[in-house]
Chains A and B, each alone.
Chain A
């Protein structure tokens, strides 16, 4: 399993558009993806838009992305980059 830390940089946090883009991207990989709020036990399935949105992530939130499976390296690279890019809106 691989993990990577990231910070939410886009203004409106993990609202519906970013959550949709994230789950779309996550669904392209066979690995199991999850997102944890750093320093807590709160974890959501990275392929569940409802799960991601109910994490309540805002700008500045620190998260830990994990990927486990055959394509975990590609998955974690792509997803971390998507988050850091601010989903093309920040």
Chain B
């Protein structure tokens, strides 16, 4: 086979070589409606598809029980029972035999009808079971039509996942031990797939376009999640080149992993707390192993985005509790819903806005729909009984918003106390600093909050008036701009004066080049995509905090971001620090 190369957006670093697993789900709605002249033949096709499907599920149950535990396996056993259920399979047979419909039509109709029963139920948990039924329908259709591509849960060997797009519910099912890399047709740098791939440390190339049509399951692929290159059928030279890149990355990783279980302390004793950002509670599992000392940002919007209706209090509580428990007493900062802007919810009717990033989003939306915020706060406070949970409000631009949000939080706490519902006595409540007005008034906020967390992505965008998705101005986007650095300093200084702490959860926190500067400014806590944790711990361990303070003082007085970068590079070269990842 001849080598071909396609290019997309590299959104999660790392080089991998592996076999492709092409994922093309068949939705029941897509099945065609068709009459048949041969009902007996169609009934036989359906029966055979059912038998193959049961056999597959049986294997999958055994495999799941062995790897993920009995509890996960019982859900798949439930799918087997559904397939054997007197109210599912016999009606399908009947549609074929007495009404002359094709097997696909029968599956489509009965599955949609049965899923509809669940969809109309009051309990949210039961409404979600509709997706189990649909899942089963897709499995049946797959067996009826010998078409390429299978279920995500069918990835049994290490593979590079190739798909048109991955939905939030697809991405939470990803088995990170088997998915070596991800290549998709559509998707950008801020999509949930990009964020999840980054936090799971899976190299990913998104938006590769129609180039992926040339990829078939089993093809050899070489993927570079940094440059966005995907090579199909790589030749010997390419294999060598990618193999070398992989070896270099492995070596850096091994070196950094030695730091995972050490504290990040500079040579002169400055102690930095290093945490990780997560979007789903599943990502919390394994964080302690890679050295995360807490979760500095739990983005709750994924819980809201991966579904068709608002998650109720219990559903939210279970998610928050599971993250709190996974961290075994280490801090877990849960950020309340940050929706609007580029993230929309299908069940909240948002009116289109001319400037969504300056519009009705995040805390503004939550203060406009206080029921929503109150429910989320109750769920978070209930989870506080199971770990070290902290609450954080996003997009605070002024004290009036902070006070209003805090009051709703107090009401929720008071209500739980009255109802005798367990929750922690003391739960810290803080805010994101991502709007310049909040940074400029940090001294006022510091009197009232328990902590700050600086969100550099938005702070840079709002301070420099740069849309980082707009390629024509993207080069102006730079967190080393001295104006941004001054704002960061103001926030940290204000928190110090009032005995509070400041964290940082934007991408600057995960950049080793920024580490000396942030140590010099006295940042207390760093939170980043999980794979960067060992890297930043290593970077900080090489530093001298006193030298970093002097460095910070110098760069705050500089003219341009370019000057700052030059100074940082010279500083790191001076201490023999490496900038490679």
Contact = CB atoms under 8 A, between A and B. Distances in A.
Interface in B67-83: 71, 74-75, 77-78, 81-82
B117 interface: yes
A58 B78 contact: no
Nearest to A51: B87
Contacts of A51: 85-87
A78 interface: no
B69 to A, nearest CB: 12
Interface in B124-142: 125-126, 129, 132-133
B461 to A, nearest CB: 42
12 contacts: A13-B123, A13-B125, A15-B129, A20-B78, A21-B74, A45-B87, A47-B86, A49-B82, A54-B118, A54-B126, A56-B122, A58-B123
A50 to B, nearest CB: 5
A23 interface: yes
B123 A56 contact: yes
A51 B81 CA distance: 11
A19 to B, nearest CB: 7
Given A50-B85, A51-B87, A56 B126 contact: yes
A75 to B, nearest CB: 17
B129 A53 contact: yes
A20 B74 CA distance: 7
A48 B86 contact: yes
Contacts of B85: 48-51
B130 to A, nearest CB: 11
A13 B125 CA distance: 10
Given A20-B77, A50-B88, 7 more contacts: A16-B78, A20-B74, A45-B86, A48-B85, A50-B114, A56-B122, A58-B123
Contacts of A45: 86-87
B336 to A, nearest CB: 25
Interface string B468-488: 000000000000000000000
Interface residues of A, number: 20
Interface in A28-75: 45, 47-51, 53-54, 56, 58
A51 B117 CA distance: 10
Interface of B: 71, 74-75, 77-78, 81-82, 85-88, 114, 117-118, 121-123, 125-126, 129, 132-133
Ranked nearest first, the 8 interchain pairs of A and B with the lowest CB-CB distance are: A49-B81, A16-B78, A20-B78, A50-B85, A17-B74, A54-B117, A50-B87, A48-B85
A3 interface: no
Contacts of A54: 117-118, 121, 126
Contacts of A50: 82, 85, 87-88, 114, 117, 133
A17 B72 CA distance: 9
A48 B118 contact: no
Contacts of A16: 74-75, 78, 129, 132
Contact of A17 (B78, B86, B121, B122): B78
B303 to A, nearest CB: 18
A56 B129 CA distance: 12
A63 to B, nearest CB: 16
Contacts of B81: 20, 23-24, 49
Nearest to B75: A16
A89 to B, nearest CB: 10
A49 B121 CA distance: 16
A47 B75 CA distance: 17
B65 to A, nearest CB: 13
Given A17-B71, A17-B74, A23-B81, A53 B126 contact: yes
A15 B129 CA distance: 9
Nearest to A45: B86
A19 B78 contact: yes
A57 B85 CA distance: 19
A16 to B, nearest CB: 4
Contacts of A12: 125
A21 B132 CA distance: 17
Nearest to B132: A16
A54 B126 CA distance: 8
A48 B78 CA distance: 11
Contacts of B78: 16-17, 19-20, 49
A15 B126 contact: yes
Contact of B121 (A20, A47, A48, A56): A56
B244 to A, nearest CB: 48
Nearest to B88: A50
A45 B81 CA distance: 13
A20 B80 CA distance: 10
A24 B331 CA distance: 42
B136 to A, nearest CB: 10
A51 to B, nearest CB: 6
B75 A17 contact: yes
A20 B85 CA distance: 11
A48 B126 contact: no
Among A16, A21, A45, find the residue whose CB has the most chain B CB atoms closer than 10 A: A16
B125 A15 contact: yes
B92 to A, nearest CB: 13
Nearest to B70: A17
